[in-house]
Chain A
Amino acid sequence: MSAEVTIANAAGLSSVAAFWVFVIGSNLRRAHQTIERLGAFVMMICFTCVNVALIMRTIEASRFPIANLYESLLLFAWSMLAAYFLLRRAYSLNNLGWLTALSVSTIFLYANWLPASQHDIAPLMPALVSNWRAIHVPPLIVSYALLTLGGLLAVGHLWTSNRRGTAIASVAAIAVSISCTAIGAFSSVKPLFLQLWFWGGTAVCLAVMAFSLKAERLNPVSASSRADLYDEISQRCISIAFPLLTFGIITGALWANHAWGAYWSFDPKESMSLATWFSYAAYLHLRAKADMSDASLSVVAVLGLLLTLVTYFGFSFLGFGGLHSYGQLSK
């Protein structure tokens, strides 16, 4: 195992440690602040390790380290951690710690379990030998990380605003996506079965979400402003991620025109990124113009999160092909 992979694993372990520190801290009233600070410190160790791993990989590969799923996951984790520190500073929301730590440790667990070929530094194929790779991919990965945080905070908002049924259905929908990612990556189940599980499971969860949201619309909202804060941070994450997503899609189009002679080919990955863009465009329109409840907007944010997960991981588990198939796993 290379030093860089060892450091990445150390980052994963520290994210798990940070999660437990935050969990313990949230259950202790007296030492809560101190333990929360300790958790943030452990998260900083994790962040440092990710930075070192990325720098080492850049030096070792002599290129910007974004060429396969493993490398993109490292950047995804980096983005989530960076967003956590910025949001912690801006909003002083303690509960963001365990959520970020849980997400980051899940990413590292997944990255660690990927086939060994993903951890190796492989030579680039002709289409990827371009500076556009460093311009197009990072904004997209950062936007995915922010959209994921935004979606998870929307679930937090549903929970704290006494929409527990909707929140549980949202978690179930996210769990279906994650389970598909895991099954698709680590087993040889036919893509058709995975697609049925994914679309069927998601459809059922969405139906339950819609039903629960309607049933819970009159639930009293607690006086705590935490729900409002979750909603505001979720909105903030999405409104920062949206321009990054737009920029990523546009630079992708510029690169595609340079490499393939067409700025848009309706390739599955392009199409899914467009679908994600449509969903967040709808969210922003609803947020800015419609008289819609915060809970309903949170459900739209969760829908966006599901589309983001399909756009990012869909190629590895749902059997999508197309021009971006170099992102697929070779098992």
Chain B
Amino acid sequence: MADGTTGADAVLSVRGVSKSFGPVEVLHDVSLDLRAGEVHALVGENGAGKSTLTKIMSGYHPPSAGQVLLDGQPVALASGVDGERHGIVLLHQEFNLAEDLTIEESIFLGREWRRGPFLDKRRMRAHAAKLLADLHCRIPPTARIRSLSVSQKQMVEIAKATDHRARVLMMDEPTSVLTQDETDILFGLVAQLKRNGVALVFISHKLDEVKRIADRITVLRDGHLVATRPAAELGQDEIAQLMVGRPLHDLYPPKQPPAADAELLLTVHALGVPGRVFDAGFALRRGEILGFAGLIGAGRTELMEAIAGLRRREGGSVAAGAHRLAYLTEDRKAKGLLLQFPSRPNLTLSTLASFTRGPFISVPAEDAALDKAIKAFDLRIGSRDMQVGALSGGNQQKLLFAKVMETQPDIVIVDEPTRGVDIGTKQQIYHFIARLAAAGKGVIVVSSEMPELIGLCHRVLVMREGRIAGELAGESLNEEEIVRYATGLKGAA
């Protein structure tokens, strides 16, 4: 059995840790050491046990078996708060921010500074401003969480976590919603913390990032620790193979661009969304996979939502003829799926009219559709009664795909289709998108992951500050060009 122990100078260790939820064992006999001044990356597919392991190490879950050691001594952490008291801080995957509080209030929630019986707002505000400045985050500490973008919320979470005098800081997918620039800032901060002797844990699905900042890498698969190695010894392909447990060929399917005279499915002309999108125009052909690149906040989602009729638009036109259009939201938890409901009602929610007999819903028809979706999308939903919220991110995303495809669209817009999804599922989603295009549909892919756009799309439009700044295809479709347009080095802004 591989393990991640080193013997000496570990700040925090686990020895033989297992964890079961009911009858399901999600973590099996894992041993690992975290050292001061080292970045330890945890990688693995969704459901491999990464989040559970960090929750055990930080006190949110007690282990079912095995020990947690702090400075070589066994500790029983009673809760996440108890863990923080010992200097072990976990930055959660999901946001834990109250939407109506300000940034300052969020950062100090539960440990407010006071002067006598009164809140010392001035000092807290100044401190919050300093934390944000360290992250090059130009938002006032008095802004409400509700008004922030997803990446800004993440920055607030990071500011909050780093403010604890952490000896161990664990970050569960901190970069999944960050732009390249923000990621660079975060990594600068990580380097700083490393120099200060903090032990860091970094979870990410982005293997290039893992390679970039990790000193050691631990791979988990199905709750087992597969390997712990120095980062220098592992290539990205090797990591992916260890994660999946098999060699991973063909992450991206071969490209089959449409004929130049293929039918136009969608023509957008001079479309605007108040304050967000200006004068956007493009066309989509049958069989084409069209990418949309850009920094977060460039207006890509707003443009797509306006095209799908989910957002008010200002001027311009959208011509789709008789073609049906479907939009797959980037925010599957808040806008895509009913998390407290099982899979069946989620699958049919958009198309319930085709599952009725007379005025009544036909449950057998819905069940049949779910059977088909399970096969077509390789859905692993456990029990049929299981709430969708309890599924892994990859399975949620596949269910959302299945739901959208129930509408039998001719034009499919997918927004961040692989966010928070493991590499095995990513591959499935890419191949699925390619099959859609091969079947004569038009697909628009909005993504912040450039390799994905380059590997998958026939043509990529880059947006910047609400405008389409450039179009890339063929040889010129590469990361450097995308960045030039996205940041305004090239193209009219």
Q: Is B a genuine binding partner of A?
A: no
